[in-house]
Amino acid sequence: MGKKLEKNGLWESSRMMLPEHKTRIIRDERETLRRIKPILDEQKLEEIECTLALSLRSHVRVIVVLFDPFENTMLSGFVTSIHTHSREFKLQWAEEWKWIDVDDIVEVYIV
């Protein structure tokens, strides 16, 4: 048993970290940084919907702030279509477009 002890009397161990342990540590750190989506009141939801409708009718550019658990994302473009039954709208910029769920929006600004 004396052979397994080193100079300071501790067991010698490997300091190598397995890849699956490293992944777990990174995932755990990201989960602690995760934010909770704010609950918007009726007035704020109505304001968002009116701004989107104004962009569709008047063809004005809007900036849409989308919730993300780690960091909000901002998209800028024109609303070209609204589906009220599925609560989503089509935001177009340049030659690209994206369908966005209204429930993912935190804020909308007219540019």
Q: Are 60 and 110 in contact (CB under 8 A)?
A: yes
Question: SS3 breakdown of the chain: % helix, strand, coil, rounded to 5?
Answer: 35, 30, 35
Please give the Cα distance from 108 to 52 (Å, whole number): 8
Looking only at the bridges linking them, the beta strands covering 62-66 and 73-83 are: antiparallel
Q: Is the dihedral of CA 69, 39, 76, 89 positive or negative?
A: positive
Which DSSP category does 16 fall into? -
pTM as predicted: 0.69
- What are the tokens at 78? 């024109």
Within 10 A of 33 (CB to CB), how many other CB atoms are there?
Answer: 9
- Mapped onto helix, strand or coil, the DSSP state of residue 84 is coil
Q: What is the pLDDT along the chain (111 residues), one digit of tens a residue?
A: 555 555 665 555 555 555 555 555 555 555 567 888 889 999 999 999 999 999 999 999 999 999 999 899 999 999 999 999 999 999 999 999 999 999 999 999 998
Please give the Cα distance from 60 to 16 (Å, whole number): 57
